[in-house]
Structures are given as structure tokens and as C-alpha cells.
């Protein structure tokens, strides 16, 4: 009988929760490599190892880090949400339709919007614009009438007139009134242009949802109209003879709603507003639920803030049946259901891939070779704690070691301990912590605060990327993203680690990782092998991250590569965007690269005149400066 291997693909999948958050798009193959499993238009799937994609990028001159977009996943997400709603509508005998719109603010990148429009064409999937610039994107990308263009956000006269002009051309532009001040602008502009617009109102629901992004829910939400403001809009439209234009009700409770019960509650309350608008005489046709369809970032499939406790099919069925049950009681015709599911549409399709540059280890300390009998009492006390350490004394020895370590640090600050003594104490302390960790691994209840120990011993893996540029939500709001090695999953990962980026900032790190619905402060990774690259991927980063990124330390946009996986299992590089050069990011902060080069030439020429360097050395320095301006802002081999 063969013995069970020490580590298996199943173990790796369970550790990194790939089957949980991967939504069927990512898995591990028999070689221990992470693969993308791409749905194909013929109903089958094709699998490509991420390492193969990296190899293809590198031969095309794209070094790490790279933002990878897999178009198949975006195409399939649009297909899934439209077909799931269509099925729920058919199964429930619902008399309305479904129309999806993508909120441009979730990812404004031109390639992404172009793909959404192209892949959404069979379902007339539309766009939502929350600003004048986003409206211009929508008006230019949607070249044919049919898809909805939902206008949210603050709208000045120019914004409104742009939309009214497209209405004249036959496009379905909907003006959602967010504040009472927008009503007279829409009324006056439409009357002046002779256009009967489709008008919507955003209701401020009192229903609140759980999760991190719940500030847009509840009656203290910054956006939307309360009951008295809604009545004011209705009366204003009646006075203008335009109540027939009010056909659209919108609300938004948050972009990531983890609990299906909150979704049902919000839909039910919105339906009450819908009923009242109909009874006021408005010929209502659309009910827009906004966003909220969550992404399971931690793979736990629970109501934890980074997860969701429902499937897409359940979401669609609950929405359809709730609307149907409320409106049927009043004999009101079923509306077209609209959702603005942005996060769930684009999150899966984008992966940040980067390599590890260096490692600082904390768990490999060894006891000092020899300890003088005259050494500090703190040294001997720590050694005694080490000798006493056992399963029964682990908590006591842990507490004592931390106490003696802190005393040593205070003594060093006061000049009572020299550097070598402090070094010995730190060595012994880390050896004790490593032994404590082994005991805690065998017996998780041995320590009262095991996460403290995990953080204390975590190695630092230095990644070739910027958190602030590529994963800003991980820094700003403690958003969790799955981070997984792209290879070596046949090996047990033995190093608890945090991941530091290239910025000179203590916040430039990832030290929060999903773990069974909770948050772990360290991620198991593999030992780095000399001369061999170690690749990691941060997944589900297609929503918000690219546009929110900043230029901390002037680390710019990464390379972006879009691939489409074909039915024969091959893949095409269908789009490549060069990452920012040093010259690019300098120009963003108002430096003129040509002027900088001219100034550097003058500095180098003065050095030649002074005899500091030769003319040949000057030219070598100038060439290096020019090459640096052209270079990638990230680490280059």
C-alpha cells in the first residue's frame, strides 16, 4: 500500500482556497502549476498554465510586473449574469426583461470598456456614467442604439445636453436624478431642445446592508432622494407636464453585499417606492438595483465581508421573485430589471503577476555559538526560558521571552547593553519563537494569541510591484485579495511570509490574507531557490484597482497584456499596453524629461572641465541617464 505523500495538490488548493474564490476559472494542474480555465464559446474549456503566459510575455519583451487580462473570463461573466437572469425570469413566468449595465467607474480602461461593449452586444449590455467624462466614453463606445446609458452622479447643463443629443439620435439615455437641484436643469434643457427624456430617480432606502461598502445604504447615505425629496420631484414633473418622463427607479446599497438576506430586503423596500410612483401616475418601466452582486475574495462562501453566501443563480432568482411577489399584490406590471454589477463583471478577468526579488528571513535563527558566563543576566534568563520550553510551559516561556527581549531593547536604548549583547538576545529570542511556533502548530490552543507569533516570525518577501499603484484597496481599506504562487504546488510551502513592495514606505506591503472567512497576517510561501524566479499572482483585481492606483515613489502603471484563449488551447496576445517609463511618470508630476537630460549633460560637462571625469566617462553617464529615462519604473534584470 502506497503511503500518502507529504503534500498534494489537494492540500495546496485547500491552503490557498483556490476552488473557493476561483469560481471555476483557476485551478492547479498535475504539475503543480496554477492554470486559468477559460470558458470557450463552444461550451468547452481550455486550460493554460500561468507560467506559459509569462513565458509568452517575456519573449515579447514584457518583464514583470504585468497586469494580465483574460478576455474569456470577462466575456463569460457577462454571459453568465445575462443568462442567469433570463433563466430566472423564464422559470418564474416574470413578465419583464433584464438589462445589464456596467458602471464605467469600476474600470475605465479603454480596452476593458471596448471588451464589455463587444461581449455584451448579444444582450444589449449597457453602460453607466457617473461623470461627464464617463458619459463621453459611453457615447463614443456604444455606436448603435439599444443598450441603456444610465446617467448617475452630478449633472450640469453640458452633461444633460450631451445625453439629450444622443436621445435625439435614438439612444436610450436615462437621467437619474440624484439631488433636487438637477430637476430644473433636465426640465429646462429638454424643453429647449424639444426632447422628451427618460427620467429616473434614485431613492435613498433606509435598509442597511452588512459588509465594508455599506456607506451608500441607510437613510444617512450621501446619495439619493429621501421621501420628501421624491415627492418634490414628482410635483415638479407634474408642474412641467413631464410626469410621463418618469419611468426609472434606481437605488444602490453597496458594491459588495455579502448576505443574500440584505439583498432581498433592499429589493422589497425599493418595490414599495416603485408601487408608490406608479400610483402617483408615473408610467414606470425600469427598476435598477444598482450594484451589490459580491465577489468571494476569501473563498469561504459565507457572509464575511470579503465573501458572499449565495451563488449568482440564487441572486437572480431572489431578485426576480421578490419583485414579482410585491408587484403582483398590487396588480402592477413587472418592470425591466436593471443591475449595475461592475465588481463581479470585471474582477475575475484580471491578475497582477509579479516576481520576488529578495527575502528577509526571521525563522532561521540559531543559538549563539558560545555564551560567556559573565554575559548579561538577560542572556542567561532567555537561555533558561529556552531550556524550560515544553508543551506545558509554552505560554509562560513565550511571555517570559517577550519580557526579556523588551528589557534588552530598553537597556540598549539607555546604553546599558552593547550591540553584540543585543544581537545575542535577539538570536536566542527568535530561536525560542521558532520552537514556540512548532508547539502551536501541533496544538493551536497552546497560545492565547497565535496570530501575534505568526506575524513576529513572518519572513518578508520583496515583490517587484507597488501596492499603491496596482492594489491600492489593499492599503487604503484593508481589502483582501487572494495571493497565490503561480507554480511549485507539489511542494509544501514552509515559510510564513508577508509581501513587501518596492516602495520606500512601511505601508507598502500585503499582510492580510484570506483564511477560512477570517484574516491571516501571514501567507505560507516556498523557499526561494537561487537563480530561479518565484512568481506570485494577486487575483480578482479587475475592479477599481487600475484607476485608483497612484504614483507612490513614482512607480507607474505596469505593463498590461490581454489574452484570448482559443478553442484549440492556444492563446493570442490581443492587446498590449506598455507600462510607464521613468520619463512618463516624471512628466505626470510636471518635470520635462528633455530639460532634465540637458541639465544632467551640463553637470557632467562641468565635471569634465574640472578634471573629475574623462569625456568618455561623461558620455557613458549621459547614455545611462538617457536609458534610465526610457526604462520601466520597476525592477529590470
**Domain ranges, residue 600:** 592-630
Tell me, yes or no, whether 304 and 388 share the same domain: no
For residue 337, is it within any domain? yes
Helix and strand counts by DSSP (H, E) for the chain: 22, 25
Residue 520 falls inside a structural domain: no
- Say whether both 267 and 389 belong to one domain: no
Kindly provide the b/e burial profile for residues 546-573, where b requires at least 16 CB atoms within 10 angstroms of the residue's own CB: beebebbbbbbbbbbbbbbbeeeeebee
**455, 482, 503 — which closes off a domain?**
455
Do 173 and 320 fall into the same domain? yes
Residues 337 and 395 in one domain: no
- Which residues are within 8 A (CB) of 183 and not within 5 positions of it... i.e. 6 or more apart? 177, 233, 236, 237
Q: Is residue 531 part of a domain?
A: no
Determine contact, residues 558/470, Cβ cutoff 8 Å.
yes
Q: What is the pLDDT of residue 390?
A: 92
Beta bridge partners of 567: none
Whether residue 270 sits in one domain with residue 141: yes
437 belongs to a structural domain = yes
For residue 152, what is the domain's CATH number? Answer: 3.20.20.10
Q: Which of 408, 426, 455 is the last residue of a domain?
A: 455
Minimal CA–CA distance to 536: which of 434, 462, 602, 438? 462
- Unique residue bearing C-alpha cell 401616475: 281
The pLDDT of residue 637 is 76
Do 338 and 386 share a domain, yes or no? no
Residues 104 and 190 grouped into a single domain: yes
Measured distance CA(335)–CA(226) in Å, rounded: 22
Same domain, 316 and 415: no
In a domain, 315, yes or no: yes
Report if residue 64 sits inside a domain.
no
Residue 304, Ramachandran bin (φ over 0: left; ψ between -120 and 50: alpha; else beta): beta
User: CATH code at 440?
Assistant: 1.20.58.930
Within this chain, do residues 415 and 339 fall inside the same structural domain, yes or no? no
Q: Distance between CA atoms of 231 and 225, rounded to whole angstroms?
A: 9
Q: Is omega for the bond preceding 65 within 30 degrees of 0, making it cis?
A: yes
User: Distance between CA atoms of 485 and 535, rounded to whole angstroms?
Assistant: 6
Q: Are residues 329 and 434 both part of a single domain?
A: no
User: What is the C-alpha to C-alpha distance for residues 586 and 590, in angstroms, rounded to an integer?
Assistant: 7
Give the H/E segment covering residue 149. strand 148-151
The Cα–Cα gap between 87 and 64 comes to 42
Domain boundary among 346, 363, 388: 346
Query: Which residues are marked as active site?
Result: 504
Q: Which residues lie across from 338 on neighbouring strands? A: 99, 288
Q: Are residues 272 and 401 in the same domain?
A: no
The backbone torsions φ and ψ at residue 155, rounded to the nearest 5 degrees and listed phi first, read -125, 115
**Is the torsion defined by CA of 31, 33, 34, 38 positive or negative?**
negative
Do 193 and 293 share a structural domain? yes
What is the domain count for the chain? 3
pLDDT at 1: 41
Q: Which residues of the chain have pLDDT under 70?
A: 1-4, 208-222, 363
- State the alpha helices, DSSP H only, in 92-225: 110-120, 132-141, 157-168, 182-193
Indicate whether 129 belongs to any domain. yes
Domain-embedded: residue 324: yes
Amino acid at each position: 500500500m502506497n503511503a500518502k505523500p507529504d503534500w498534494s495538490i489537494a492540500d495546496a488548493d485547500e491552503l490557498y482556497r483556490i476552488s473557493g474564490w476561483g469560481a471555476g476559472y483557476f485551478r492547479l494542474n498535475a504539475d503543480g502549476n496554477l492554470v486559468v480555465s477559460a470558458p470557450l464559446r463552444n461550451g468547452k474549456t481550455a486550460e493554460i498554465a500561468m507560467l506559459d503566459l509569462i513565458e509568452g510575455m517575456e519573449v515579447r519583451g514584457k518583464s514583470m510586473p504585468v497586469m494580465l487580462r483574460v478576455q474569456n473570463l470577462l466575456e463569460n461573466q457577462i454571459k453568465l449574469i445575462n443568462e442567469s437572469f433570463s433563466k430566472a425570469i423564464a422559470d418564474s413566468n416574470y413578465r419583464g426583461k433584464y438589462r445589464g449595465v456596467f458602471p464605467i467607474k469600476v474600470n475605465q480602461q479603454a480596452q476593458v470598456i471596448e471588451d464589455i461593449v463587444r461581449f455584451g452586444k448579444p444582450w444589449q449590455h449597457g453602460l453607466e456614467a457617473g461623470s461627464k467624462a464617463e458619459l463621453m466614453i459611453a457615447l463614443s463606445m456604444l455606436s448603435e442604439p439599444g443598450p441603456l446609458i444610465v446617467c448617475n452622479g452630478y449633472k450640469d447643463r453640458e452633461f444633460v445636453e450631451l445625453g439629450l443629443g444622443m436621445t435625439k439620435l435614438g439612444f436610450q439615455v436615462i437621467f437619474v436624478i440624484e439631488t433636487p437641484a438637477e430637476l430644473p436643469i433636465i426640465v429646462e434643457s429638454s424643453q429647449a431642445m424639444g426632447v422628451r427624456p427618460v427620467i429616473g430617480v434614485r431613492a435613498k432606502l433606509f435598509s442597511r446592508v452588512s459588509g465594508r461598502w455599506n456607506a451608500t445604504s441607510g437613510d444617512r447615505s450621501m446619495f439619493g432622494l429621501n421621501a420628501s425629496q421624491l415627492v418634490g420631484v414628482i410635483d415638479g414633473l407634474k408642474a412641467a407636464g413631464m410626469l410621463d418622463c418618469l419611468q426609472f427607479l434606481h437605488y444602490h446599497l453597496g458594491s459588495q453585499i455579502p448576505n443574500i438576506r440584505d439583498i432581498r430586503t433592499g429589493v422589497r423596500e425599493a418595490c414599495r417606492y416603485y408601487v408608490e410612483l406608479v400610483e402617483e401616475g408615473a408610467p414606470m418601466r425600469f427598476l435598477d438595483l444598482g450594484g451589490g452582486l459580491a465577489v468571494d475574495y476569501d473563498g469561504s462562501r459565507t457572509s464575511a465581508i470579503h465573501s458572499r453566501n449565495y451563488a449568482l443563480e440564487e441572486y437572480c432568482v431572489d431578485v426576480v421573485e421578490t419583485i414579482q411577489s410585491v408587484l403582483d399584490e398590487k396588480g402592477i406590471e413587472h418592470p425591466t430589471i436593471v443591475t449595475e454589477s461592475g465588481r463581479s463583471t470585471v474582477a475575475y478577468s484580471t491578475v497582477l503577476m509579479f516576481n520576488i526579488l529578495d527575502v528577509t528571513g526571521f525563522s532561521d535563527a540559531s543559538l549563539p555559538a558560545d555564551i560567556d558566563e559573565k554575559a548579561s543576566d538577560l542572556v542567561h534568563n532567555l537561555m533558561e526560558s529556552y531550556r524550560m520550553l515544553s508543551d506545558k510551559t509554552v505560554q509562560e516561556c513565550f511571555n517570559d521571552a517577550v519580557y526579556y527581549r523588551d528589557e534588552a531593547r530598553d537597556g540598549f536604548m539607555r546604553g546599558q547593553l552593547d550591540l553584540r549583547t543585543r544581537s545575542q538576545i535577539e538570536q536566542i529570542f527568535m530561536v525560542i519563537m521558532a520552537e514556540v511556533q512548532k508547539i502551536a502548530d501541533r496544538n493551536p490552543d497552546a497560545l492565547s494569541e497565535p496570530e501575534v507569533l505568526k506575524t513576529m516570525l513572518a519572513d518578508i518577501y520583496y515583490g517587484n510591484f507597488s501596492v499603491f499603484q496596482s492594489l491600492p484597496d489593499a492599503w487604503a481599506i484593508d481589502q483582501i485579495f487572494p495571493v497565490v504562487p503561480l507554480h511549485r504546488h507539489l511542494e509544501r510551502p514552509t515559510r510564513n511570509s508577508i509581501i513587501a513592495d518596492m516602495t520606500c514606505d512601511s505601508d507598502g506591503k500585503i499582510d492580510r490574507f484570506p483564511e477560512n472567512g477570517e484574516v491571516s497576517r501571514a501567507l505560507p510561501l516556498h523557499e526561494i531557490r537561487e537563480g530561479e524566479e518565484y512568481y506570485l499572482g494577486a487575483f480578482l483585481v479587475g475592479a477599481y484597482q487600475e484607476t485608483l492606483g497612484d504614483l507612490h515613489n513614482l512607480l507607474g502603471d505596469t505593463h498590461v497584456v490581454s489574452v484570448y484563449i482559443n478553442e484549440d488551447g492556444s492563446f493570442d496576445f490581443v492587446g498590449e499596453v506598455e507600462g510607464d517609463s521613468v520619463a512618463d511618470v516624471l512628466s505626470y508630476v510636471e518635470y520635462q524629461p528633455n530639460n532634465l537630460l540637458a541639465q544632467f549633460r551640463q553637470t557632467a560637462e562641468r565635471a569634465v572641465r574640472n578634471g573629475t571625469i574623462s569625456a568618455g566617462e561623461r558620455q557613458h553617464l549621459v547614455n545611462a541617464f538617457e536609458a534610465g529615462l526610457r526604462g520601466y519604473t520597476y525592477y529590470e534584470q
